[in-house]
Amino acid sequence: MAAFVVRRLASHAVLAVLAASLGYLLAAAALDPRAALEGRAARPPEAVVDARLGALNLDDGTPLAERYLTWAGGVLRGDFGRTWDGEPVGAELWRRLGVSLRLVLPGAVLGGAMGVALGAFAAVRHGRAADRLISGGSYLLLAVPVFVLAVLLQILAGTANDAVGMRIFAWVGEATPGASHGVVWGVADRARHLLLPTATIALCQAALYARYQRGLMLDVLHADHVRTARAKGLRRRDALLRHGLRTALVPMATYFAYTAGLVLLGGVFTETAFGRHGLGEWLVDCVSRGDVNAVAAVECLAACAVVLAALASDVLSAALDPRVRAGAGP
């Protein structure tokens, strides 16, 4: 198992380096920080603009390859450069990452668990009312964009608040400004603000996973190993859980890695809709300002996150299927 993890980690590390490098090159080639400086009302002298861009490693007069090597050397030392305002990128990056993780991780985990459970249940109830309800609900959620779902949940929460005459649901920011800072109230207030954003991400992920898990589960319901287990005396539920679901989870584990990018993209829209000052909001702002170093740092972090998701997927696949550990699987 350890050798398998090391091999996969090495291959994923190469992909992470390539993705991060491509992200920087695209940002440096597409964004125009010089135009942002020269477009100011009080246009600074050309020498001042050149000096400013040179200090930030953004001077378009320097070859792109040279700028990339300077940036890559800094990243290897843990230095992502400086933002447009001259502040270290790393400090703001890690602060924003904490906000995004508190938003995305609960929704992604909850959505994945819900999707697998609902998909397996729908397959077992194939053709019945529960199957049609879960399938129809999944199709409906998949057809609704993330930002539309976020607005709909806000409308429903606002209606519920008006109906009961008190503010049960809150969703703007991470906590209520100026509220009491008691430990119990602080935890409850943060959980209240996290409820709707988490539900937005979880519902989108659950719909995606439920459709895929249902198809995988249907493929193994009448497989030989499931029928053999039942012929040996196992109850239908036990046979499906021990042998059917375990087999269906192997390709599902691989699918988790492919949806990591969708989770990150959904997080960008969710942060905007719920007033969270995380990586998504920062990325949009930095792109509009032409802040190459900050954009490249977010892209580098996103590439590492997708690669880590792929590694976790490989480990889960290996734990479920011994053939993967032996090199016979993907």
Q: Is 203 exposed, middle or buried (0-12, 13-18, 19+ CB in 10 A)?
A: buried
pLDDT tens, position by position, 34-88: 777 766 666 778 788 788 888 888 888 889 999 999 999 999 998 998 888 888 9
Second CATH level (architecture) for the domain 98-289: Orthogonal Bundle (1.10)
Query: What pLDDT shows up at residue 329?
Result: 45
Tokens of 25: 């090159």
- What's the pLDDT score for residue 178? 58
Question: Residue 169: CB partners within 8 Å, gap ≥ 6?
Answer: 157, 158, 160, 161, 192, 195, 196
Predicted confidence at residue 69, as pLDDT, reads 93
- Predicted model pTM: 0.77
**Positions of the chain with pLDDT lower than 70, given as ranges:** 1-2, 4, 38-42, 177-185, 321-330
Instruction: Supply the pLDDT for residue 330.
Output: 45
Give me 283's structure tokens.
Answer: 């990325």
Give the Cα separation of 5 and 85 in Å (integer).
41
pLDDT, residue 265, reads: 77
* Domain extents in the chain: 1-84+293-330, 98-289
Instruction: Report the residue count for the chain.
Output: 330
